[in-house]
Structure 1
Amino acid sequence: MLREFIRNERIAYFSMEIALQNDIPTYSGGLGVLAGDTLRSAADLQMPMVAVTLVSRLGYFHQHIDEEGGQSESADTWAPEKYAHPLPAKVAVVIDGRDVWVSGWLYVLESYLGGRQPVLLLDTDLDENRADDRQITDRLYGGDAAYRLKQEIVLGVGGARLLHALDFHVRQYHLNEGHSALLTLELLRRHAYPADGLRPGDSPYDIPAVRELCNFTTHTPVEAGQDRFPYELVHRLLDDFVDNDTLMLLAGREELNMTRLAMNMSDYVNGVAKRHAEVSRRMFPGYHVRAITNGVHPHSWTSIPFRKLFDAHLPGWCHEPEQLLRADCCIPKKELWQTHMEAKQELVRLVEERCHVSLDVDVPILGFARRMTAYKRPDLLFYDIERLRAIARKQPFQIVLAGKAHPRDEQGKQLIRQLYGYIRQLSDDIRVVFIPGYNMETGLKLVSGSDIWLNTPLKPFEASGTSGMKAAFNGVPNLSVLDGWWVEGCIEGVTGWAIGESCDDGESCDVANGNDAAALYRKLEEVVLPLYRDNRDGWISVMQGAICKNASLFNSHRMMRRYAADAYIR
């Protein structure tokens, strides 16, 4: 099976997590879903790539929520042999002074158009390894710093070596976030100069040659979000893998910063939205950080009712999403609304099944679903409960929430408990539900069945965000803080609505939660809900605007064509 993939040069795409399909739990959230959408578009467009990730046998975690909103976790185990084929090669990497053997599985991601992309799922659960080493690739983002560094050694160094052992011809390497930055050290070793030819002060490696091979996409707009490891740990686990002076020059003097290593070793560096690139250039003065705004996979994130609608009126839209520019003139408003109501009924049924709550299909639904962490501010909508009640008494609405908190994010877990408290407080006035076990399938029903998609991050901490892009493919307008992609996507009253003001200089313009909440309530009460209630034709026009001006642009087909033109072909 490998033969069809090793004939031609390929772009090797490294990512710690990749959302391959809903029931393969090798993803935690937005980064993994983006990686999956990247490969799905590459398959549709028949771009020659090969992806490298971890098998994550125990998944991220399965979420359990008790009656008080307390989150607990259990392993989300899956069996790779049911979905993938064992690889016919294994390689060794030295970790903590001993050989750790790495092999893996070949998963073939297939496009509905017939394209195929190979994905290597790295696995250390081999007989040759010690019991603790066999567990290195088990848990996605699990364990302590040593466990994480071992995973990143396997991903970067082991992944690069396995590609070589399998005879893949790699044209370039694409690092999706800094987790795989150690692959650049493996490439340095391959491009080392003969020791007897070096003069004092010369670099022992051909650094420019390695830089030409590497592209790096950063997703983190804050220093605290970058992977860092103390050099004491690095030297214990990696020993003298590369010259120490070179390592400290490239990755930082005080500690190994994976983002800095990736940036220093990549000829092409990009952020995932224009605003994010501005923020990144301020974080890393002197680096040329370009912008390729994220996108979502058209076929995957368009609900079946909307796929049928687009197929009928704009054939070929899935391969050329720019055709959606004509949705306002080619799709009758009545059909658009009927299609939305089909998708909304699906969400209503899901809520009934999972939460045992009956929503009213005639009352607008506000949807909010993403990682439960402080900067996402899932509690902002509930900042002033009495104000929220007053708005609902005049113009009823419903709220559907979902999302997971990282097992070690106690603040995120507390936010879920607070949301359950708000649900109880508002039970007599507003139907509010929290759907546990958030995954890709649930996400699609949420982004397609909601009437309004809400996003309330604290600026400037949203690198891009993609859930609102998914909503746009289903004609659902965004009501969002002007950060990440929404700075580019928001045309007030045309594609949706802004909460508060933007920052034009790329710096933090954070305001108190109370000010953002007041702006949110004002927009809901004075603009959004009255339009839904009193002007259905005007509301459908905004739905058309979301499709025409957001979905047509913020898709992973456009994103991958940009990567091909700007990064891969140079």
Structure 2
Amino acid sequence: MYNILGPNGRKIAYFSMEIGLNNEMPTYSGGLGILAGDTIRASADLGLPLIAVTLLNKKGYFMQRLDSEGRQTEHHQDWSPEDYMELLPYEVTVKIQKRDVKVKAWLYEHRSLTEEKIPVLFLDTDLEGNFSDDRQITHSLYGGDRRYRLKQEMVLGIGGVRMLNSLGCSISKYHMNEGHSSLLAIELLRQNGMNAERVKDHCVFTTHTPIKSGHDVFSHDIVMELMEDYVDFETIKKYGGEYELNMTVLGLNLSNYVNGVAKRHREISQEMFPGYKFSSITNGVHSYTWVSSHFRKLYDQYLPGWANEPELLVRVRSIPDNEIWDAHKSAKKELIDFVNSKCDANMDYDTLTIGFARRVTEYKRPTFIFSDLKRLKKVNDAGKIQLIFAGKAHPRDTMGKVFIERIHQYAKELKGEIEIAYLENYDMGIAMKMVSGVDIWLNNPQKPLEASGTSGMKAAHNGVVNFSVLDGWWIEGCVEGVTGYAIGPKPEVEKPPEQIRIMELDDLYNKLEYIMIPMYYNRKDEWINLMNNSIEMIAYYFNTHRMMHRYVTEAYL
């Protein structure tokens, strides 16, 4: 047994395709990985006996470069794992396409403010003796074709379980963070004499998306080509799907506890996968990580202990309003200076600043605010606004790339009236500046396709006001006019999609023009009250400490 385990041997194994723990380690692409990182941080704070398993991704996700027209190109993000972690002296093999693929693990230890440590295993196949193609399995996050993806998921699920065994881990629960790691359940079946009930007792499955394409599916031809020597075909069909291997179905069939990541997402998941029982544990964010240095100082002074007890943020009213506002102004200045240095922008500190940053894809509707430029200009006449965007489009998401180009076109078209900037290569560092430095956090996905969303929670921790469609977590977090504002009708309103869209656009423009802009410019005390409400009523609850308490009591015990 290696000494990373501690006296308990680690009872919870947390598997995730991507984990974002360090901005210099490009081992994440977006929300799923950042959530996984926050989960590990909170688990360390709480002293949970958890060990995490993921893939190394030696070439990262990709480095985004944008030209003056907004055309995205992707570049490898080479990095050196030895600068951050230690290669362990253990090796396991996974049979892929009739070949024994060797797998090693790098150890990264996350240490919390409480000095508790969580070990994270980054699996690596780039080893001497492996076939050339096999060495590349752990190179690129979400890269390659379907065969490449299935190979990655075999290494993660099967190789991950075997690596934990080689380390001498005593695992009582295997938590699959999305379907990418579901093959661990097949490995557990093999190790438990094909006793499905015993495997279910050990497995927890969390699904993260209501989008059909977000659930990994592999044809049986590919499965048998890569896994023929590993498991019999009838087992795959029995637990993963009669006509194709659906990784979500596999996880559902071999887990006793299954959950969505918001109350609304639980309902959508039940509709997508009828016959399965879903619970819901709404996501959170790691409070200390996502609070800017300016607000950290305030919280440290007035709310001692908040970093490990974020529920203390409910007492934010003990902080004088002028100090809340000064902290926000400092964070905003930092963001505006950064934007002006990186972009061809002329933003100022006093203008109402709206932020939109997330993965760029069609259902997130990144150009929604530009749907009616005449209305948008009228909004700007009521009180000047400026817009900051950021986000990567997946290399194969042609429409996502088009949206980035369109935003650049709007920036040129509106130059001199509304200042618009697009920050390239969105990462954790840029996210921190944006969620703390803007005045309004905008989110307008197409309902009901937002499973949860967490960026708005980060914004609320910094007193930034949320303005969002009622989907995902915001259904639970929005108290209209108190914690922020909703865009469009409630989910229960049943109208044709185009009519819903019209209602959302009206709400977007009208609330900006008639409510939010006048309040920001003319009634600053009311605006600061909104900021306080965001911290008091959102941040105190929508955090990973609360989330992990729920997982422990409902899923792990």
TM over 0.5: yes
Q: Which residue of 2 aligns with 1:40?
A: 41
Match of 1:394 among 358, 382, 401: 382
Q: Does 1:177 align with 2:185?
A: no
In structure 1, the residue corresponding to 2:231 is in which secondary structure? coil
Counterpart position of 2:309: 320
For the 8 Å contact 1:459–1:510, the answer to whether it is kept is: no
Confirm or deny that 1:7 pairs with 2:7.
Answer: yes
**Alpha-carbon distance between aligned partners in 2 of 1:188 and 1:4, rounded to the nearest angstrom:** 27
For the 8 Å contact 1:459–1:508, the answer to whether it is kept is: no
The CA deviation at 1:114 is 1.0
C-alpha change, 1:459 and 1:349, in structure 2 (3 Å) is same
User: What's the CA shift string for 1:241-280, capped at 9, x where partnerless?
Assistant: 3332232121111100000000111110000000000100
Hey, what's the Cα distance between the residues in 2 that align with 1:88 and 1:169? 19
CA deviation map 1:280-330 (0-9, x unaligned): 0111112110000000001100000000101111111111111111112x1
The match for 1:275 among 264, 267, 285 is 264
Give the match for residue 254 of structure 1: 243
Provide the rounded CA distance (Å) in 2 between the counterparts of 1:507 and 1:157: 46
Q: Secondary structure at the match of 1:215?
A: strand
CA distance in 2, matches of 1:124, 1:6: 26
Deviation at 1:223, TM superposition (A): 2.1
Shift of 1:508: 9.8
CA displacement 1:225-254 (0-9 Å, x = unmatched): 210000011011000533322321211111
1:394-473 to structure 2, matched below 5 A, reads: 394-473=382-461
**Count of residues paired in the alignment:** 556
What is the distance in 1 between the residues matched to 2:246 and 2:493? Answer: 26
The aligned counterpart of 2:143 is: 142
- Residue 129 of structure 2 is matched in structure 1 by 128
Look up the match of 2:518: 530
Rate the CA distance shift 1:175–1:40 in 2: closer, same or farther, 3 A.
same
Structure 2 distance, partners of 1:552, 1:362, is 28
C-alpha offsets along residues 120-147 of structure 1, whole Å, 9 cap, x if unaligned? 0000011020111100100000000000
Query: Where does the alignment leave 5 or more consecutive residues of structure 1 unmatched?
Result: 193-204
Q: TM-score normalised to the size of structure 1?
A: 0.96
Deviation at 1:505, TM superposition (A): 8.5
Distance in 2, Cα, partners of 1:506 & 1:142: 39
SS in structure 1 opposite 2:218? strand
Structure 2 matches for 1:85-124, cutoff 5 A? 85-124=86-125
Instruction: Give the CA deviation at 1:356.
Output: 4.1
For 2:487, the aligned partner's letter is I
Q: Would the aligned equivalents of 2:266 and 2:279 in 1 still touch at CA under 8 Å?
A: yes
Give the 4+ runs in structure 1 shifted more than 4 A. 505-512
Aligned to 1:202: none
Q: Which of 184, 189, 207 does residue 218 from structure 1 map onto?
A: 207
Specify whether residues 215 and 507 from structure 1 end up closer, same or farther in structure 2 by C-alpha distance, changes over 3 A only: farther
In structure 2, the CA distance between the partners of 1:515 and 1:508, relative to structure 1 (3 Å rule), is closer
Is the CA contact 1:380–1:513 (under 8 Å) kept in the aligned structure 2? no
Contact residue 393 and residue 429 of structure 1 kept, 8 A: no
Contact kept in structure 1, 2:207 and 2:259, CA below 8 Å: yes
3-state SS of 1:212 partner: helix
User: Counterpart of 2:169?
Assistant: 168
* Residue 510 to residue 309, structure 1, CA distance change in 2 (3 Å): farther
- Residue identity in the other structure for 2:31: G
Distance 1:30 1:372 in 2: 12
Match for residue 284 of structure 1 among 248, 255, 273: 273
The answer to whether the 8 A contact 1:6-1:168 is kept is no
Alpha-carbon distance in structure 1 between the residues aligned to 2:114 and 2:460: 23
Matched residue SS, 1:170: coil
Identity, in percent, stands at 51
Name the CA distance, whole Å, in 1 between partners of 2:142 and 2:498: 29
Partner residue in 1 for 2:77: 76
Deviation at residue 475 of structure 1 after TM alignment: 0.3
Aligned with 1:553 (options 541, 544, 552): 541
Shift of 1:10: 2.1
Whole-Å separation in 2 of the counterparts to 1:434 and 1:542: 27
SS of residue paired to 2:404: helix
Deviations along 1:29-52, whole A, 9 cap, x unmatched? 000000000000011111111110
Which digits, 9 at most, give the CA deviation of each residue in 1:372-425, with x for residues without a partner?
A: 000000100010111111211221111111000000000000000010011011
Paired residue for 2:18?
17
- Residue 539 and residue 56 in structure 1: after superposition, are their counterparts in 2 closer, same or farther (change >3 A)? same
CA distance in 1, matches of 2:5, 2:343: 45
1:206 is matched with which residue: 170, 192, 195?
A: 195
User: What's the secondary structure of 2:289's corresponding residue?
Assistant: coil
Q: What SS does structure 1 have at the residue aligned with 2:242?
A: coil
Distance in 2 (CA, whole Å) between partners of 1:185 and 1:122 is 18
Normalised to the residue count of structure 2, the TM-score between the two structures is: 0.98
Q: Tell me, which stretches of 5 or more residues in structure 2 are unaligned?
A: none
8 A contact 2:488–2:500 mirrored in 1? no
Of 289, 308, 316, the match for 1:300: 289
Matches of 1:512 and 1:430, distance apart in 2: 27
Query: In the superposition, relative to structure 1, how do residues 490 and 320 fare at CA in structure 2: closer, same or farther (>3 Å)?
Result: same
Q: Which residue of 1 aligns with 2:468?
A: 480
Work out whether residues 383 and 514 of structure 1, in 8 Å CA contact, stay in contact via their aligned partners in 2.
no
Distance 2:295 2:494 in 1: 36
Q: Secondary structure at the match of 2:422?
A: strand
SS in 2 for 1:3: coil
Residue 2 of structure 1: how far off its partner (Å): 3.8
Relative to structure 1, is the Cα distance of residues 507 and 444 closer, same or farther in structure 2, using a 3 angstrom cutoff?
farther
**Distance in 2 (alpha carbons) for counterparts of 1:95 and 1:305:** 50
CA distance in 2 between counterparts of 1:422 and 1:115 reads 48
Distance 1:423 1:280 in 2: 38
After TM superposition, give the deviation of residue 504 of structure 1 in Å.
Answer: 3.1
Inter-CA distance 264–506: structure 2 relative to 1 (3 Å threshold): farther
Q: Measure the CA separation in 2 of the matches of 1:511 and 1:551.
A: 33
* C-alpha displacement of 1:160: 0.5
Q: Give the superposition deviation at 1:370.
A: 0.3
Aligned partners of 1:475 and 1:102: how far apart in 2? 45
The aligned residue for residue 357 of structure 2 is 369
Indicate if the aligned counterparts of 1:279 and 1:506 stay in contact, CA closer than 8 A. Answer: no
Distance 1:265 1:505 in 2: 36
Separation of aligned partners in 2, 1:87 and 1:525: 58
Quick one: which of 228, 253, 263 aligns to 2:252? 263
Secondary structure class of the residue paired with 1:5: coil
Contact 2:92 2:163 in 1 (8 A): yes
